[in-house]
Amino acid sequence: MTFVPNTAAQRAEMLRQIGVERFEDLLVAIPPELLMQRQLRVPEAHGEVELARAVEKLNAQNLHIPPNRVFAGGGAYMHHVPSVVDELSSRGEFYTAYTPYQPEVSQGYLQSIYEYQSYICMLTGMDISNASGYDGATTLADAVLMTNYVHKGKRSRVLFAPFVNAEFRNVVDTYCIGMEMRTEVLTASEQGRLSPQTLRDALSDDVACVVFQYPDCLGYLDEDMEELTAIVRESGALCIFSFYPFAAGLLKTPGELGADIVCGEAQCFGNYVNYGGPYCGFLACREQFVRVLPGRLIGRTVCERDGSPGMGFVMTLQAREQHIRRNKAMSNICSNQALLALRACIYLGSVGRNGFRQLAALCHANAMSAHEKLVNITGVQDAFPGRHFFNEFTLRFPSSQARQIRQRGLEQGMLVGIHPLVESDGTLNSDSNAGMVEDCLTFAFTEMQDEADSDALARLVWEVVSGS
């Protein structure tokens, strides 16, 4: 198939006007030994018929788990995508636009990003949000590097509160290679919390930031967050929150809890889980850090609109960015995830204030209901009894049964929990808190499940644990 419109005759005419006889004459600058003498080794061109067949064939090899039978999160959440999100975001004017370099013809896209920034500020309790980043882990890494710039490179230690998702931490580690920052994981108390004393002991004047995940990767909420952030602030370090923004429907924002920088994943707002990407990382901060916030920012300004003074939108504070600062830029970010940010925007507008609160409550309700069913099974325990959670929680199983439960789930077309220490590609991660969650699984719930689904889950767990 080709999407080249010019005919052979047109091409010949164009070559004539260029002043060459053959196409190859245009390649004289390429050393002859570099010119390919064979065809590329890729499959023969497919028409749409063959393509449809290839796509079906590929998918037929895979196990398909229905969305309501996915009881797993770990950074990606199976929420419903309203029809209106797909319909509106697939409009070609949005879909096939590039970065809005020419504001006169990009007002619509610019405005949608301004709206996105406003939503992120509301949900996080921050003052400024960028126009989005690659995903929740890279924006966490961006946040960590921001604190390096805030402290002008004088503080190089990064502390992770216990139970920050290992996959997120690994991305931060990669980003820290260049700046030579060091990361450490703080030890959890017996209840799986961060004790104020542990935090105080770890802080010193070389700590740039402390990273909290909220809820943490086991799903738990810490009631004493304000006390912890106050301790961090006292030491001169900054508080970063990696936040699951769906929880904002019910819970206080990280801003209220004392965060300086908040990041996370907006995939949950109208974006498919898509086997892990593309997602939409958000990154927001308090006003005083705007100069070190990487990525694009859209601002409102004055303009001439239909001949009268009016308001419009532009990319602003661009002098922070790589295309102007080059080797003095604090980040190399160029592209963002505008299309997914647009979808998040449409999603939040579509469900609205009451709908969003209702959905958040339903996620929590579904988790509570399933939790009750599961902990009533003999042999199944909370990883840390008495802890509160939003839509994710962690259970402890008799030795080696966690693996069997997951396996049995796959056999029955369910994705049953994730092991808190295992990355999505199967790699085992270990840190100082690993021993506390060895035989555990973390379960996630959204509005997709109903009672029949959690009953099926409970039955499966019971079968494995009771040996039936």
Partner 1 sequence: MSRILYTKTHEYLREEGSEWYLGITEHAQEALGDITFVELPESGAEFSAGDEVATVESVKAVAGVMAPVSLRINEINSALEDAPEMINSDSQGGGWLAKVEALDASQLDGLMDQAAYDAMEK
Partner 2 sequence: MAANQSRLIFEYNVENRHGTQVVGGMRSGRLEDYPRSLPQKLLRTERLPLPQVSELELVRHYVRLSQDSFGIDTGFYPLGSCTMKYNPKACERYVKHPGFANTHPQQPIETLPGFLAMFANLQDWLADITGMDRISLTPAAGAQGEFAGMLIFKQYFASRGEQQRRVMIVPDSAHGTNPASAVLSGFTVAEVKCADDDGIMNLELLNAVIEKYGAETIAGIMLTNPSTLGTFEKEILAVSERIHEIGALLYYDGANLNALLGIARPGDMGFDLIHINTHKTLSTPHGGGGPGSGPIGVKEHLAPFLPHPHVRSTENGYEFYRPEHSIGRMKLFHGQFGILVRAWIYILLHGPEGLRRISENAIVNANYMQARLKDSYPVRYDKWADGTDRYCMHEFVASCGRLKKECGVTAKDIAKGLLNAGFHAPTTYFPLIIEEALMMEPTETESKELLDSFIDTMLELHRQARVNAEALRELPNLRIKGLDETYAARHIDVRWQPGMPEGSAAGEGM
List the interface residues with partner 2, window 222-251 (CB under 8 A): 223, 248-251
Instruction: Tell me the window of 72-80, 196-204, 433-441, 452-460 that interacts with partner 2 (CB under 8 A).
Output: 72-80
Q: Does 213 bind partner 2 (CB under 8 A)?
A: no
Residue 286's φ and ψ, nearest 5 degrees, are: -70, 155
Q: Report the distance separating Cα 114 and Cα 341, nearest Å.
A: 10
CA separation (Å) from 208 to 157, 173, 350, 468? 6, 14, 39, 52
From the list 204, 335, 376, 430, which residue makes contact with partner 2 (rule: CB under 8 A)?
335
179 and 207 in contact (C-beta within 8 Å)? no
Distance from the first to the final alpha carbon of the chain:
56
Q: What is the closest distance, in whole angstroms, from the C-beta atom of residue 316 to partner 1 in the complex?
A: 8
Q: Report the distance separating Cα 325 and Cα 274, nearest Å.
A: 35
155 and 310 in contact (C-beta within 8 Å)? no
> Pattern 310-339, binding to partner 1, x per CB under 8 A?
-------xxx----xx--x-----------
From the list 213, 229, 242, 253, which residue makes contact with partner 2 (rule: CB under 8 A)?
253
Contacted by 283, from partner 2, partner 1, none: CB < 5 to 8 Å by type: none
81: its two tokens:
């995508």
> Pattern 147-166, binding to partner 2, x per CB under 8 A?
--------------------
Q: What is the closest distance, in whole angstroms, from the C-beta atom of residue 28 to partner 2 in the complex?
A: 7
321: its two tokens:
């960015």
Question: How many residues contact partner 1, by CB under 8 A?
Answer: 7
From the list 16, 182, 200, 291, which residue makes contact with partner 1 (rule: CB under 8 A)?
291
Q: Does 386 bind partner 2 (CB under 8 A)?
A: no
Q: Does 300 bind partner 2 (CB under 8 A)?
A: yes
Instruction: Find the length of the chain.
Output: 468
Q: What is the closest distance, in whole angstroms, from the C-beta atom of residue 230 to partner 2 in the complex?
A: 15
Residue 309's φ and ψ, nearest 5 degrees, are: -65, 140
Question: How many residues contact partner 2, by CB under 8 A?
Answer: 205
What is the Cα Rg of the chain in Å? 25
Q: Does 376 bind partner 2 (CB under 8 A)?
A: no
